[in-house]
Structure 1
Amino acid sequence: MSKTPNTAVRPKNTGQKVIFDNPVLESLTRTHIAVPISIFVLFSIGLIVYAFTYSQLPSYLIGILFISGLLIFSLVEYIVHRYVFHMDTDTDLKEKIQYNFHGVHHEYPKDKGRLAMPPIVSVILAISLLYVFHLVIGEYTFAFLPGFVMGYASYLFVHFAVHAYQPPKNFFKVLWVNHGIHHYKDHNKAFGVSTPLWDFIFGTLPK
């Protein structure tokens, strides 16, 4: 029978989890949110400047590809959160992987140091995405990937904000409410962080 440890985890709004006894390894699991956001924003800007300056892509197509990248990232965000971070943990290994990847965040949702991947992982991810996308879609990468990466930077910002600050008194409040429901009431709802779009489409939007 599958089991999902998040259902048994009681969120703690203070403290933090030590994953590695080795202090060097432990430090690599933590980061200030501004570091990865800065990495991805600068990476996105660099790519989009390259697209306008050196590629043969027309301006209108660069805009379309950029917006497409934003949209596709939001779908990837939803899928990864729902099916990877909340995978069925039917083995001890899966349970350990799930906890270290995401369960620890559900147990300590206010731990600001673990709201994003560490810088070294962010750099490796950015370079890997550039290589893979260029291999698949060639020159279109320089317009599509900036949108995709900016989508990720936006996700990081929203995710940090909903955990670190009180909700605003405007329509953005829905992001705080949905993520609060996901953490404190029903972890099988509200998988979208930066947008509720895919929760609405796939029927996981909280009532």
Structure 2
Amino acid sequence: MHHSPASPLQPAVPRPKHKGSAQLFENPVLERLTHTHFAAPVTIFLLTAAVSLYYGLTRNLLTGVAAFGLFLAGLLLFTLAEYAMHRFVYHLATTTPARTKFQYTMHGVHHEYPKDKTRLAMPPILTVFVASLLFFLFRFVLGHAAFGVLAGFVFGYASYLFVHYSLHVFAPPRNALKWLWHHHAMHHYTQESAAFGVCTTLWDHVFGTMPRRRPR
């Protein structure tokens, strides 16, 4: 019987959860490259943000006020990109074997092994590639403004990695940030087709993908 994919507002059936780590590739080199400590990409992105701002300001390509505004714009842009990637790429409909393989490798394995600390961030080689690609893309589209936008965007990426790692490794804090833990936990354990935002619930509110408090 054919079942249509659940809409973003419908609770998804949670996947089975396992401890340890899954093997994605038979090749030991490729398999090793899928594991990393989250501190490596976080450091790379923070350095990229600092160097980008420093270069733009010291070369008089940006003023202080403009740099601050562009930084905030880049940060907001990242939160939208994070939401869109999580919702439309990482959770794309697995309607073909190729899509199923892609989705599992990119994100499905994380849902089955949510406590695997070594797969909560991209490997350093891929991090450098992504940072370089973002720089050339923003530079081509935005000109000098790219130095401010890039800084905010990759700072947002670093913040996302830190928050995501904390959500999966540490117990919920007894303060105002506890709602973030609950929001992401609902995505993993009760409603995979909702709660796509990790650092913020802003876009879940905007696009109507906030999870139900009491899913059916």
Q: Output the aligned Cα RMSD.
A: 1.4
State the shift of 1:9 in Å.
2.4
1:63 aligns with 2:64: no
With normalisation by structure 2, the TM-score equals: 0.91
Deviations 1:4-56 (A, max 9, x none): 8x8462122x1110011111110001100100000000111011111111133
Amino acid at match of 1:87: L
With normalisation by structure 1, the TM-score equals: 0.95
Q: Contact 2:160–2:198 at 8 Å: present in 1 too?
A: yes
- Counterparts of 1:151 and 1:77, CA distance in 2: 9
Report the count of equivalent residues. Answer: 205
Which of the numbers 31, 40, 44 marks the counterpart of 1:26? Answer: 31
Q: What is residue 198 of structure 1 aligned with on the other side? A: 203
Q: Contact 1:167–1:173 at 8 Å: present in 2 too?
A: yes
- Counterparts of 1:171 and 1:8, CA distance in 2: 27
Question: Aligned in 2, Cα 1:182/1:125: closer, same or farther, shift over 3 Å?
Answer: same
Which of the numbers 121, 127, 133 marks the counterpart of 1:128? Answer: 133
Q: What is residue 173 of structure 1 aligned with on the other side? A: 178
Runs of 4+ aligned structure 1 residues displaced above 4 Å come to: 1-4
Identical amino acids, percent of aligned pairs: 48
Alignment of 1:21-60 (within 5 A): 21-60=26-65
Which of the numbers 139, 149, 152 marks the counterpart of 2:154? Answer: 149
1:186 aligns with 2:195: no
Q: Contact 1:3–1:90 at 8 Å: present in 2 too?
A: no
Q: Contact 2:13–2:190 at 8 Å: present in 1 too?
A: no
Q: What is residue 9 of structure 2 aligned with on the other side? A: none
Q: Which has the higher contact order (CA 8 A, sep 6+)?
A: 2
Q: Contact 2:186–2:192 at 8 Å: present in 1 too?
A: yes
- Counterparts of 1:107 and 1:3, CA distance in 2: 19
State the shift of 1:202 in Å.
1.1
